């Protein structure tokens, strides 16, 4: 009798413990792992140094950079067989002044060999008009326009002797999602099939991207700071976005 | 003996676990009625539905406290409620333009906060697209609250009773911009005005009927005004030029769209509670409804993008003007203006 009472009490506790626990066994047989991306901010091949170093744009004009921030979102990986995986809720803000922000970690990615990566430079249309956001999209990060809803996708501020603005300022706040001034751009790059992104449970690969801040000012249209030194959305932002679409990011190598 | 203690401990543990599993919903004060968002029967489905922002008494109370807290502004002089006064249907009485920090005079007339849950774009130029992010505009405007959300988060974290209120509203003392904005929205989206005499007549409630003059005004209104001031919100939420000036001093909608033909256009304002929302127009240039009606009767200027419906103005004789005014006053919702639920406490 004593034993049964004891067992009953034990069973009761055990039962309640299980009922409290959330069901974590819903994942399928598919294994998942992690990989990281490093964004190596540069200007025409040299490491970006904020506030101090003088760089030259494609027109040969000198400039310095004080602020360089950009969104990378909706990261999608594809395999050689054409199947793909969109990493849910993948919104990252890379800020050249915050070293920790230049390394991002992608978790719970199905294991496999990926031969293509693509992502949005900026933030998708819907999130620009969605309600109050948190994390990378928190307006606290200074990348949200309060008077005209939407995110600043790429922000570069600095100075140039050629700039006609007050204090020779350069102000490039690129954003806007409504045609004809839509600046949402997608970057995509193939990964060498001989060395694909190998996501494994026992190895967490690292992708290394070179990010060239000078790409805002060349590519399709060489920008002169004498004539374009300020934009916050609108047609001039489109010129800059068209420049950086293909030139801002370059996959340098992968450590598998 | 030891066994007995063990059994007792196990049972105690079971009971404790049962408690841990159940949510403590009983903690809500019994005499407090649970707030609900109700769609008036003469209104359509709202744009904002609280789906991702569950309305609660604690969330609403927090939002209301934030709305009325002047310490959130740069010089601690201006709260949301400073420019959105309940007795003026949540606009600012006797102010042509909003009166911000350091006595700064803003650019535009404070819009009334009413029936916002049905609105898809905010402010006179429609620049803000979500009710939740609307407060950020006033918070950061140098001539309104002149601060930023980071400063507000820091202030709230260090100021009682805010951490406790966030815990009651959202289950954690964590304070961030998202929770601040969601709680303010629980307050502002609840500002529903739908119990004016007009509403009661439309809903055929309590045998309420228009007077002859109000009825004549309503007929005139439907004929001459409602193509823009569409029922039941008394705005179609479009952006139009109503010929206030040949060339507007304020770029208006084009600031948002970069479209030249939007220059000087503004959102058609609601006429609900118009009796209490003076002065009128985006720059508050008219102090009385007479001035407004005289403008439409004989003052419309031939701006390049003047709305087609106003090409010839809206000719009105003096009787018609009085009738329209009589009707407009039936849009006053006394219950809304006096509802202590929305008052600063």
Cα-trace Rg, chain B:
24
What is the pLDDT confidence band of residue B18, given thresholds at 50, 70 and 90? Answer: very low
% of chain B surpassing 90 pLDDT: 87
- Chain A, residues 152-181, CB within 8 A of chain B, namely 178, 181
Mean pLDDT of B280-286: 97
Q: Tell me if A19 is assigned to some domain.
A: no
% of chain A surpassing 90 pLDDT: 86
pLDDT of residue B13: 46
Q: Tell me if A102 is assigned to some domain.
A: yes
Is B78 within 8 Å of B98 (Cβ atoms)? no
pLDDT averaged over chain A?
Answer: 91
What is the pLDDT confidence band of residue A200, given thresholds at 50, 70 and 90? Answer: very high
Contacts of B131 in chain A (CB under 8 A): 131
Mean pLDDT of B260-281: 97
The residue assigned the tokens 């920090």 is: B101
Mean pLDDT of B304-319: 97
Lowest-confidence pick of A14-23, A119-128, B264-273, B311-320: A14-23
Under an 8 A CB cutoff, do B130 and A181 touch?
Answer: no
pLDDT per residue over A210-227, tens digit each?
999 999 999 999 999 999
Which residues, in sequence order, are bridge partners of residue B230? none
- Please name the residue of chain B whose CA is at the shortest distance from the CA of residue A7: B7
pLDDT per residue over B244-260, tens digit each?
999 999 999 999 998 99
- From CA B62, how far away is CA B56, in angstroms rounded? 10
- From CA B148, how far away is CA B106, in angstroms rounded? 17
Is A68 within 8 Å of A50 (Cβ atoms)? yes
Are domains B57-192 and B197-335 of this chain identical in fold? Answer: yes
Under an 8 A CB cutoff, do A132 and B3 touch?
Answer: no
pLDDT of residue A203: 86
pLDDT of residue A5: 52
pLDDT per residue over A77-102, tens digit each?
999 999 999 999 999 999 999 999 99
3-class SS of residue B248: coil
pLDDT of residue A249: 98
- Please name the residue of chain B whose CA is at the shortest distance from the CA of residue A4: B7
Tell me if ipTM is over 0.85. no
Mean pLDDT of B198-224: 97
pLDDT averaged over chain B?
Answer: 92
pLDDT of residue A34: 97
pLDDT of residue A6: 54
Helical segments of chain A, H only:
2-20, 125-129, 235-247
DSSP-assigned letter for residue A221 = S
Mean pLDDT of B139-149: 94
- From CA B329, how far away is CA B221, in angstroms rounded? 12
B209-232: burial string, b at 16+ Cβ within 10 Å, e else: ebeeebbbbbebbeebbeebbebb
**CA angle, A26 as apex, A17 and B174 as ends, to 5°?**
65
What is the pLDDT confidence band of residue B22, given thresholds at 50, 70 and 90? Answer: very low
Q: Which among B7, B137, B177 has CB closest to A5?
A: B7
Contacts of B177 in chain A (CB under 8 A): 132, 134, 138-140
Q: Which residues of B touch A (CB under 8 A)?
A: 3, 6-7, 10-11, 13-14, 17-18, 20-21, 52-53, 123, 127-133, 136-137, 139-141, 149-150, 153, 176-178, 180-182, 185, 255-258
pLDDT of residue A143: 98
Contacts of B63 in chain A (CB under 8 A): none
Phi, psi (deg, nearest 5) at residue A43: -130, 110
Query: Best mutation site among A125, A129, A146 for testing chain B: the one with the most B CBs within 10 Å?
Result: A146
pLDDT of residue B31: 60
CATH superfamily of B57-192: Cytochrome c-like domain (1.10.760.10)
pLDDT of residue B25: 45
Where residue B229 falls (left for φ over 0; alpha for ψ -120 to 50; beta otherwise) is: beta
Domain B197-335 fold is Cytochrome Bc1 Complex; Chain D, domain 2 (1.10.760)
- Please name the residue of chain B whose CA is at the shortest distance from the CA of residue A235: B258
pLDDT of residue B3: 52
Phi, psi (deg, nearest 5) at residue B335: -60, -40
pLDDT of residue A166: 97
Contacts of A140 in chain B (CB under 8 A): 149-150, 153, 176-177
What is the pLDDT confidence band of residue B345, given thresholds at 50, 70 and 90? Answer: confident
Domain boundaries, position A55: 31-255
pLDDT of residue B252: 97
Domain segments of chain B as ranges = 57-192, 197-335
C-alpha of A106 from chain center: 11
The DSSP bridge pattern shows strands A230-232 and A169-175 to be: parallel
| Shortest Cα–Cα distance, B121 to chain A (Å) | 10
Number of domains in chain A: 1
3-class SS of residue A30: coil
A vs B, Cβ pairs < 8 A, gives 95
Q: Tell me if A8 is assigned to some domain.
A: no
pLDDT of residue B32: 75
């Amino acid at each position: 009798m004593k034993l049964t009472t004891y067992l009953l009490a034990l069973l009761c506790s055990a039962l309640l413990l299980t009922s409290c626990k959330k069901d974590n066994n819903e994942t399928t047989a598919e294994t998942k792992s992690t990989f990281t991306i490093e964004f190596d901010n540069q200007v025409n091949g040299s490491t970006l140094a904020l506030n101090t170093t003088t760089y030259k744009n494609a027109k040969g004009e000198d400039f310095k950079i004080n602020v360089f921030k950009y969104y990378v979102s909706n990261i999608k990986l594809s395999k050689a067989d054409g199947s793909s995986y969109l990493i849910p809720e993948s919104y990252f803000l890379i800020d050249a002044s915050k070293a920790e922000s230049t390394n991002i970690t992608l978790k719970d990615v199905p294991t496999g060999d990926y031969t293509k990566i693509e992502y949005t430079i900026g933030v998708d249309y819907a999130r620009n008009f969605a309600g109050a956001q948190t994390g990378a999209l928190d307006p606290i990060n200074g990348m949200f326009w309060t008077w005209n809803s939407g995110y600043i996708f790429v922000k570069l501020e600095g100075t140039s002797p050629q700039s006609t603005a007050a204090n020779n300022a350069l102000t490039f706040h690129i954003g806007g999602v409504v045609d004809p001034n839509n600046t949402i751009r997608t970057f995509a790059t193939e990964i060498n099939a001989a060395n694909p992104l190998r996501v494994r449970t026992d190895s967490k690969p690292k992708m290394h991207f070179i990010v060239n801040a000078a790409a805002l000012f060349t590519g399709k249209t060489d920008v002169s700071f004498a004539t374009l030194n300020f934009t916050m959305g609108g047609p001039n932002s489109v010129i800059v976005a068209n420049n950086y679409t293909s030139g801002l990011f370059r996959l340098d190598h992968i450590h598998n | 003996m030891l066994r007995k203690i063990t059994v007792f401990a196990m049972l105690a543990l079971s009971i404790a676990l049962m408690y841990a599993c159940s949510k403590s919903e009983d903690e809500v004060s019994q005499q407090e009625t649970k707030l609900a968002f109700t769609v008036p029967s003469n209104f359509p489905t709202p744009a904002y539905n609280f789906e991702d922002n569950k309305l609660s008494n604690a969330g609403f109370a927090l939002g209301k406290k934030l709305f009325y807290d002047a310490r959130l502004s740069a010089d601690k002089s201006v709260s949301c409620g400073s420019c959105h006064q309940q007795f003026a249907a949540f606009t600012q009485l006797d102010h042509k333009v909003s009166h911000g920090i350091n006595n700064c005079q803003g650019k535009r007339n404070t819009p009334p906060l009413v029936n916002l849950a049905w609105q898809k774009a905010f402010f006179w130029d429609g620049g803000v697209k979500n009710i939740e992010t609307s407060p950020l505009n006033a918070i950061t405007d140098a001539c309104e609250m002149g601060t930023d959300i980071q400063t507000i988060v820091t202030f709230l974290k260090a100021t009682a009773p805010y951490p406790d209120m966030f815990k009651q509203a959202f289950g954690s003392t964590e304070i961030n911009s998202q929770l601040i904005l969601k709680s303010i929205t629980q307050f502002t989206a609840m500002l529903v005005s739908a119990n004016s005499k007009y509403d009661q007549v439309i809903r055929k409630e309590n045998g309420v009927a228009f007077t002859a003059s109000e009825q004549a005004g309503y007929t005139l209104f439907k004929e001459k005004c409602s193509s823009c001031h569409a029922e039941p919100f008394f705005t179609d939420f479009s952006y139009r030029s109503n010929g206030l000036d040949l060339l507007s001093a304020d770029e208006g909608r084009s600031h948002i769209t970069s479209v030249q033909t939007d220059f000087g256009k503004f959102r058609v304002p609601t006429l609900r509670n118009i009796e209490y929302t003076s002065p009128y127009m985006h720059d508050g240039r008219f102090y009385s409804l007479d001035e407004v009606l005289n403008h439409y009767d004989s003052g419309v200027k031939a701006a390049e993008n003047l709305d087609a419906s106003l090409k010839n103005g809206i000719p009105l004789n003096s009787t018609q003007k009085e009738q329209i005014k009589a009707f407009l006053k039936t849009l006053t919702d006394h219950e809304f203006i006096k509802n202590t639920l929305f008052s600063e406490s």
